[in-house]
Structure 1
Amino acid sequence: MRWTLPNILTTLRLLAAPGVAVMFLYFTRPYADWFALLLFVGAALTDWIDGYLARSWKQETKLGAMLDPIADKAMVVIALMVIVGFSSMSPWLVLPATVILFREVFVSGLREYLGDTAGTLKVTKLAKWKTTAQMIAIATLFSQGVFEHYFGMSTMGMDPDLVRDIVEGREDDLHGLRWKLEGMIWTWHAGLWLLWLAAALTLVSGVDYFRKSIPYLKDKTP
């Protein structure tokens, strides 16, 4: 095994995946949301950097080829688990998250069954786009948690009628309630739409991968 810089970055991304969940064990919100967001975005950036370096420096290795998809899937699966868990199991999140998780488990099982043959099924641009959409959607949803908790902290102990008057512009907004609420709403809707887009791309790429693997699944006729 060669421990090149791209491989080290991939390994760090793999280790960062459970770190996203650990943030919510050791920190209160919204600090946990901030740390999880920064850790996730930083790790997601290494997904592009390590691939770019491996190609440009001609340091593509079997270790990197093995670790890269595992790190991507671990990041997405764990981050989705955290987001869905803290969203009170919203069905608008659960359904696309289920599609994404099902596809990842299905394709991983299919790759394991195909063994060495799986290496001949190249990663398509569609698969790369679905990973990008997943990363952006998850980062946006983590941002929504930041806005939500800053809004909650700013309105803690305030009379609900006063909050309503401030948000609707009848009272001075001394605590920035309006932009916090707008940020919370926009990141929620943007993250949700992006997650559904990611789920659609994930489903299509899964079907494409299964279609390409069909010739290797057929029984040999005697």
Structure 2
Amino acid sequence: MSLNIPNLLTLFRIAAIPIIVVVYFSGIKYLNWYCVIIFSLAGISDALDGYLARKWQQTSKLGAFLDPVADKLLVATMLMLVATNTDVKEAMQSEFWFAVTIMVIIGREITVSALREWMAELGKRANVAVSTVGKFKTGIQMVAIGCLLFQENFIGLPILLIGEILLYIAGVLTVWSMTIYLTAAYRAVRSD
């Protein structure tokens, strides 16, 4: 097992999940700040681990496995936190679209993970490599989740509303990127 710095950053992202959950339900003062700070550090670690692994030539099978698992665990858990918070749900412009968007995002994560696994078994994993749309979606999604975790207005900005709007944008990009992956996989399988 290769515990280099990129892999340790990925493990930090996984370890941050239960910490955020505990803080989120703790009822302590400024919990929204703590949650967003820890979540932001986890998000930064997501961008940094892959970059450092490539730059320092420390890519590994462990890192290739753990990185997407950490991402999906982090996103799914944070979305479940905000989806089950009655204050957040009641503040949404549309509880229905909020719930549907969360289901679409989590469903896409499961679908794309399964698709990548299947394509890897067929020796065609490169056909479903991360797309630019997928990267853009991830960035918007992370900012949206951070806003939804924060929940309060900040310097006059309606952070929760901004988070909701960004989540819907991420939802649209989620469907778009999933379509790209499914189309690429279909073409790869059909060419056989």
TM-score by length of 2: 0.85
Following TM superposition, by how much is the alpha carbon of 1:129 offset from its aligned partner in structure 2, in angstroms? Answer: 0.9
Q: 1:40 to 1:199 in 2, by over 3 A?
A: same
Q: RMSD of the alignment, in Å?
A: 2.2
Are residue 34 (structure 1) and residue 33 (structure 2) matched? yes
| Residues 78-117 of structure 1 mapped to structure 2, 5 A cutoff | 78-86=77-85, 87-88=88-89, 90-116=95-121, 117=123
1:69-118: CA deviations, max 9, x gaps?
A: 11111111100100111124722421211111111111122223333435
Say which SS state the counterpart of residue 39 (structure 2) adopts.
helix
The reply to whether residue 140 of structure 1 matches residue 147 of structure 2 is: yes
Find the partner of 2:173 among 197, 201, 206.
201
Q: Which stretches in structure 1 are left out of the alignment for 5+ residues?
A: 149-178
When Rg is computed on C-alpha atoms for both structures, the one with the higher figure is 1
CA–CA distance in structure 2, aligned partners of residues 103 and 33 of structure 1 = 27
Q: Is residue 129 of structure 1 aligned with residue 136 of structure 2?
A: yes
Closer, same or farther: CA 142–189 of 1 in aligned 2, 3 Å: same
Q: Percent identity?
A: 34
Normalising to structure 1: TM-score of the pair? 0.75
Partner amino acid for 1:210? L
| More relative contact order, 1 or 2 (CA 8 Å, 6+ apart) | 1
CA distance in 2, matches of 1:118, 1:11: 27
Q: Which residue of 1 aligns with 2:185?
A: 213
Task: Tell me which amino acid in the other structure corresponds to 1:95.
Answer: V
Secondary structure of the equivalent of 1:123? coil
Per-residue CA distance 1:151-201 (angstroms, 9 max, x = gap): xxxxxxxxxxxxxxxxxxxxxxxxxxxx77x44xx1122111111111111
Aligned-partner SS, 2:58 = coil
- Flag as ranges the 4+ runs of structure 1 deviating above 6 A: none
Q: 1:128-168: per-residue Cα shift (whole Å, max 9, x none)?
A: 11111110111111222xx27xxxxxxxxxxxxxxxxxxxx
Cα distance in 2 for residues equivalent to 1:32 and 1:24: 6
Identify unmatched segments of 5+ residues in structure 2. Answer: none
Mapping of 1:12-23 within 5 angstroms?
Answer: 12-23=12-23
Query: How has the CA–CA distance of structure 1 residues 129 and 21 changed in structure 2, closer, same or farther, with 3 Å as cutoff?
Result: same
Contact 1:92 1:192 in 2 (8 A): no
Inter-partner Cα distance in structure 2 for 1:118 and 1:205: 18
Distance 1:52 1:38 in 2: 21
1:13-55: CA deviations, max 9, x gaps?
Answer: 1221233222233x10553322221111110011111122112
Matched to 2:168, the amino acid is W
The CA distance in 2 between the partners of 1:129 and 1:118, in whole Å, is: 23
Tell me the equivalent position of 2:76. 77
